[in-house]
Amino acid sequence: MPSSPHRVKAVRLERLSRYGDGRHLFVPLDHSVSTGPVTHADRFDDLVDAVISAGADAVIVHKGRARYVSPRHFRQANLIVHLSGSTAHAPDANAKVLVSRVEEAIRLGADAVSVHINIGSDTEASQLADLGAVADACDRWGMPLLAMMYPRGPRVRNPRDPQLLAHVVNIAADLGADLVKTVMAETVAEMADVVATSPVPILVAGGDGEGDLDEFVASALRAGCQGVAIGRRIFRHPDPAAAVRDIARLLHDPAHVEVTHAPALAG
């Protein structure tokens, strides 16, 4: 009997945690659409090799770029194809649109797909519709979906407000995402409150970031997050492989990181 899409998705989700502990280190390298080249064309494959060899669970790229990455890297780690796009030069850089489909990602051998949604943007309604449609296709094909949920736009005063972050991660869960990436709240305790509301695992975005990267990752773990998705702070690092090794060590040997338990939600 053929496997059901639910079974296929469960297998793929299991593989997304390379070390089998339910934690994730994803390295987004999709910035060449939004802001410009990540590195020189002849160094891109070497960059992917470096971060995967150092312990990353997956890299995230657009469909065209996936064709220039050696398939051998995905013996160890996973390929996530990003389906959303916009550029910094647009009248509204927050207006994400779908530039790929789940079926294209499957043809490329992807292990998962991701979409980017800006809650509070002028085009929020169409982005939510896209998220729902992609989630439906993912369910049909048994493909895990990572929703990158950001509070961004003219109606967002504080993108790190824990109540707002709790709202955006639950939007992702309610519309069908299997994993959600969002920004870190101001404090570990506030982020723990966010995590307590979410029925799906939360990964914290690295962003441009300031301060010590290891402490940032440790804070996410203390809050109960299941991992991180860090792009620029890795590919702009003087030694991307060393940065990944340090993060992977924290993620997969977190015995020294004490998780902050959020108070139970009121019924």
Residues classed as catalytic: 30, 150, 181
CA distances from 241 to 44, 49, 56, 186, 237 (A): 13, 9, 9, 28, 9
Secondary structure of the chain in the HEC alphabet? CCCCHHHHHHHHHHHHCCCCCCCEEEEECCHHHHCCCCCCHHHHHHHHHHHHHCCCCEEEECHHHHCCCCHHHHHCCEEEEECEECCCCCCCCCCCEECCCHHHHHHCCCCEEEEEEEECCCCHHHHHHHHHHHHHHHHHHCCCEEEEEEECCCCCCCCCCHHHHHHHHHHHHHCCCCEEEECCCCCHHHHHHHHHHCCCCEEEECCCCCCCHHHHHHHHHHCCCCEEECCHHHHCCCCHHHHHHHHHHHHHCHHHCCCCCCCCCCC
